Amino acid sequence: MGEQLMVWVFLLTVFVLAFVGTAWLRRYALARELMDVPNARSSHVVPTPRGGGLAVVIAFEAALLAGWGMDFVDGDFVWGLGGAGALVALLGFLDDHGHIPAKWRLAGHFLASGWLLFSLGTLPPVGFGDTIVLSGIIAWVFFWLYLVWMLNLYNFMDGIDGIAGVEAVTVCLGGALISWLAGMAGGALLPLLFGVAMAGFLVWNLPPARIFMGDVGSGFAGLVLGGLSLCAMVQAPHLFWAWLILLGVFIVDATVTLLRRMLAGYPPHQAHRSHGYQYASRRFRSHRVVTLAVGVINVMWLLPLAVLVSLDWLPGLIGLVIAYVPLACLAWLFRSGDVRFQDLSGI
């Protein structure tokens, strides 16, 4: 009972640290005029302070160190998630306050992702039934690219009020639940820590947002969520499928958008507002509706499928296909990556 109470106090402390830290950063940004000013590629219309994601970074990094000191968190995870996350957050912070060329940001992303993979050691093979899908050097390269993509897609998807925070909170709560149901309650703590840190920020970022996450937070969040999925995989390989299902909304929208834009001849790093969620927010003229819809999809559709996979009641690949096909249809319905309509505010 005493240890459970300590965990709850620990989680509450992380939430308060992120909440108070975001409030302070908002005052700091207003005083220094660190504002995200709307432009032709923006989905907001009012200048808004940015950089609030730094509070999430500080709260989660502090939680990792404290959890390690209390033997709640494995040292390898602290070294991997904490070290790689700090590097990505530093790059994002510098980019928020100036500009870092895309090639150097990408180089830093590959370095951080490789760091995280190296810290996890030998990764278990990922399979479908008795068939091994990923193993050895092929698996290592795949997961390296996966982490880099997760890091960048989260930045792309952080474009309307509350969406990135709601995604992180619901995915982390789901990730904690599937670890617990799979008989690995110890694996639930890391996603809970990140989830409550993001929740402390989300209070300030819900529509209408009073502060934005900024690159310092979005890149960090993408890397951490990708890293958490691999941490779960180290404990039980089939949980990786479950995490991919939980992350489905962001993965499908960002991937479909990127592929359609590249097929149309646009460079992948070019700024735009042609994601499906951006079209949806303009169609419904509301950030709140789209952000709420993401939360509902995560909880009511993706989480049950992830639970079935985590309990081995549904093969991972089949669960992934079942989860992603409707999401791909939604992405097509809301014109993800369709550049013909990206500048039409009435769509």
Task: Summarize pLDDT for 216-259 with one digit per residue, the tens.
Answer: 999 999 999 999 999 999 889 899 999 999 999 999 999 999 99
Which pLDDT score, from 0 to 100, does residue 249 have? 98
Q: Does the pLDDT value for residue 345 go beyond 50? A: no
Which pLDDT score, from 0 to 100, does residue 313 have? 94
Residue 186 domain-assigned?
yes
More confident residue, 299 or 187: 299
Percent of the chain with pLDDT over 70: 93
Residue 171 domain-assigned?
yes
Distance CA 337, CA 347 (A): 14
Which pLDDT score, from 0 to 100, does residue 110 have? 96
What total of structural domains would you count in the chain?
A: 1
- Are 240 and 122 in contact, with CB atoms under 8 Å apart? no
Q: What DSSP string runs through 205-228?
A: HSSSPSS---HHHHHHHHHHHHHH
Percent of the chain with pLDDT over 90: 66
152 annotated among ligand-binding-site residues? no
pLDDT in tens, 190-218: 999 999 999 999 999 999 999 999 999 99
Residue 346 domain-assigned?
no
- Give the rounded distance of the alpha carbon of 144 from its chain centre: 16
Range of the domain at 281: 2-36+45-341
Residue 347 domain-assigned?
no
Q: Does the pLDDT value for residue 52 go beyond 50? A: yes
Distance CA 182, CA 66 (A): 26
Which pLDDT score, from 0 to 100, does residue 267 have? 83
β-strand partners of 126: 134
Least confident of 98-107, 250-259, 282-291, 325-334: 98-107
DSSP 8-class letter at 345 = T
Greatest mean pLDDT among 34-38, 85-89, 232-236 = 85-89
- Are 25 and 54 in contact, with CB atoms under 8 Å apart? yes
Which pLDDT score, from 0 to 100, does residue 136 have? 76
Residue 236 domain-assigned?
yes
Residue 334 domain-assigned?
yes
Least confident of 29-43, 138-152, 270-284, 298-312: 29-43
Residue 113 domain-assigned?
yes
- Core vs surface per residue 148-182: b (16+ CB within 10 A) or e: bbbbbbbbbbbbbbbbbbbbbbbbbbbbbbbbebb
Q: Does the pLDDT value for residue 41 go beyond 80? A: no
Least confident of 5-19, 59-73, 115-129, 165-179: 115-129
CA separation (Å) from 306 to 138, 150, 239?
A: 25, 19, 8
State the pTM of this model: 0.93
Q: What DSSP string runs through 171-211?
A: HHHHHHHHHHHTT-GGGGHHHHHHHHHHHHHHHHHSSSPSS
161 annotated among ligand-binding-site residues? no
Please provide the average confidence, as pLDDT, over all residues in the chain.
90
Distance CA 287, CA 44 (A): 9
Distance CA 330, CA 7 (A): 39
C-alpha triplet 155, 204, 99: angle, nearest 5°: 35
For residue 1, what is the enclosing H or E element? none
Which pLDDT score, from 0 to 100, does residue 347 have? 38
Using DSSP, state whether 31 is helix, strand or coil: helix
Residue 202 domain-assigned?
yes
